[in-house]
Structure 1
């Protein structure tokens, strides 16, 4: 029917969700909390995004707006649900639906840093530090990747640590470390020269021998600041070593718990891109009618919604498995591979239906279009995740 009201709502905290994943997986209290988050983001974060992208600087007001919401331990939500992968996933989705850099900045603390301490630290370390992490009185960064070792970091990690009495001396370099400039401590992964096993250390950002250099010239995740970190003769006490990281197996356990985050970011940017596209084609007129009334445009929008809905299903199922204590490398690899691949297509279609205006930040699709390229590569490239899935399918490893 011409001029009929849309049957699929695309507003609210969860955007277009025709199969009702949010309603099916979140309590009313959780949905209310995330709706309140969305309202804060729309009012206090979104207005600054265009300038943040133009200047490649994350406004201090972004985290200032989010921290008081206590999103890691929201008082209105049951503690078990608040700690679940489902809740944190939808929280990530709401943030990424506005901007991937906003989600990445928050997750650097709530995901990477907090998980490293909770799973890698001793019970005493976790008990002491987790409250300070959740209220942001202790800020952290996660330093694993190196300039010459990304996909092959498990065997190639070159940063070293050797013990001297009750201290460790760390030497090496790290790359692509998000939020390092605002961190109080940086979780540095280094290879113990005594046993060749990977260990993890809480290194103060201002420790002697630590140097930071901002990575400039990014076309993705522009507001999110990434750094090269140099470590030269950096000394930390044995008490600063995360006591439950004794080998790469322990690092993998931490990473495995984080894999759902990237699937949720990939899903969130698709939702944001779809909304930007629908908004634009409803307002833009060509040949005497709204662009949204053309058949080819509607086909593209329908494909975007299909991709988004598929990604919702994958992300929620992966989080539900993790909440049930089931962690499979092939499942998280499949989720990352597929949602990131679908995101790449979805954001390209959003930019496409906006025509020439699609490259302007004012119409939002350009941000999602650029960020999808980063999501496609980080936390496991398409090729690496494909090989993990292929190994599970065939029982044959194709890794070189």
Structure 2
């Protein structure tokens, strides 16, 4: 982790919060802030070697929490870069691929993306239709992807496609500027506005055989990456909830109505206490997830349970925070409405609340509701 354990919080307080509302309102990516993450040694998601800053999985979770406390777009930028793109290469790539990409990505000199979701396959990602066909020393890829963070600007895209030879899902690296790759930022988003998520069309995209991830040979290998990022979503949701709670506590302590601060009213105190109860439970989920992840004991079920609980609770906390700020709760300057809308995206990606419920339900009952 960074030498100063308070560095992520200082970065958020001093560099992110003063400017992020303008980026969010303009729907512009704060690339300078993204690059700063690499300069500060905050990118790596607990991966080892290859220029990744040394940190435990718990430390990586705390960094994700702090960045999302500042802004969900920046937190998701980190999740895409370290948790998805870098982790895929670190887990499934060749030694040459790791040496080429990971050190530069850890410094945020090169940006990555993770292309799994498709227009016709969101939750049902295992049924993806993008195809890769080997022709001599190349793979030819055709298909489409949607909701791909950094997909319109990444230097390398980790793309998941079905190999027509054996119909297994495999991973491929597509480099910036490859002919046939067309990534366009999706307009009109009401959440994570300071992150560009792309629609991608792939038309006869040709890549060398060396650009296939050699250890990614089925969707089960893709799922290994997703398990880790579900855990990260629990930390991210905690960051959003803490931001909402802090804003509500500060506002109600200063805002005077009926001759006294709002925080002196019993009903306001009751709401704040319930918010704190939820946040404390979310913290305990995250700490346990971190402990299990650090010892390689984190199961798919626990990761899903943590993501499910924390995103649901974060939505409740942020709804109450917006309520406590009254009409002022919809103003960006009060740092609630941005988190209120951003949590909707985190609630959905990496598997919706319903999908996480079915993953846990399958484990506790022994019956799969997916088939």
Structure 1 length normalisation: TM-score? 0.88
Q: Structure 2: state its 5+ residue gaps.
A: none
Shift in Å, 1:73 = 6.5
1:130 to 93, 99, 102: 102
Shift in Å, 1:80 = 11
Partner of 1:267: 238
Q: Is the 8 A contact 1:180 1:205 kept in 2?
A: no
Runs of 4 or more above 4 Å deviation: 78-81
Secondary structure in structure 1 of the residue aligned to 2:108:
coil
Q: Would the alpha carbon gap of residues 276 and 31 (structure 1) be closer, same or farther in structure 2, given more than 3 Å must change?
A: farther
2:151 to 175, 180, 197: 180
Secondary structure in structure 2 of the residue aligned to 1:170:
strand
Shift in Å, 1:232 = 0.1
- Rounded Cα–Cα distance in structure 1 between residues aligned with 2:20 and 2:115: 26
Q: Would the alpha carbon gap of residues 73 and 160 (structure 1) be closer, same or farther in structure 2, given more than 3 Å must change?
A: closer
2:140 to 169, 185, 198: 169
Partner of 1:149: 121
Q: Would the alpha carbon gap of residues 275 and 31 (structure 1) be closer, same or farther in structure 2, given more than 3 Å must change?
A: farther
In the alignment of these two chains, the number of paired residues is 367
2:83 to 106, 111, 115: 111
Secondary structure in structure 1 of the residue aligned to 2:160:
strand
Q: Is the 8 A contact 2:245 2:272 kept in 1?
A: yes
- Rounded Cα–Cα distance in structure 2 between residues aligned with 1:123 and 1:236: 18
Q: Is the 8 A contact 2:52 2:106 kept in 1?
A: no
Instruction: Give runs of aligned pairs for residues 380-395 of structure 1, distance below 5 A.
Output: 380-395=351-366
Q: Structure 1: state its 5+ residue gaps.
A: 1-29
Partner of 2:338: 367
Q: Would the alpha carbon gap of residues 81 and 320 (structure 1) be closer, same or farther in structure 2, given more than 3 Å must change?
A: farther
Instruction: Give runs of aligned pairs for residues 11-160 of structure 1, distance below 5 A.
Output: 33-72=4-43, 82-154=54-126, 156-160=127-131
- Per-residue displacement from partner, 1:168-226 (whole Å, max 9, x unpaired)? 00000000011123311111100001100011111013110011221111111111111
Q: Would the alpha carbon gap of residues 121 and 64 (structure 1) be closer, same or farther in structure 2, given more than 3 Å must change?
A: closer
- RMSD of aligned Cα (Å): 1.9
Partner of 2:254: 283
Q: Is the 8 A contact 1:284 1:291 kept in 2?
A: yes
Asked if residue 334 in structure 1 is aligned to residue 305 in structure 2, the reply is yes
2:277 to 259, 281, 306: 306
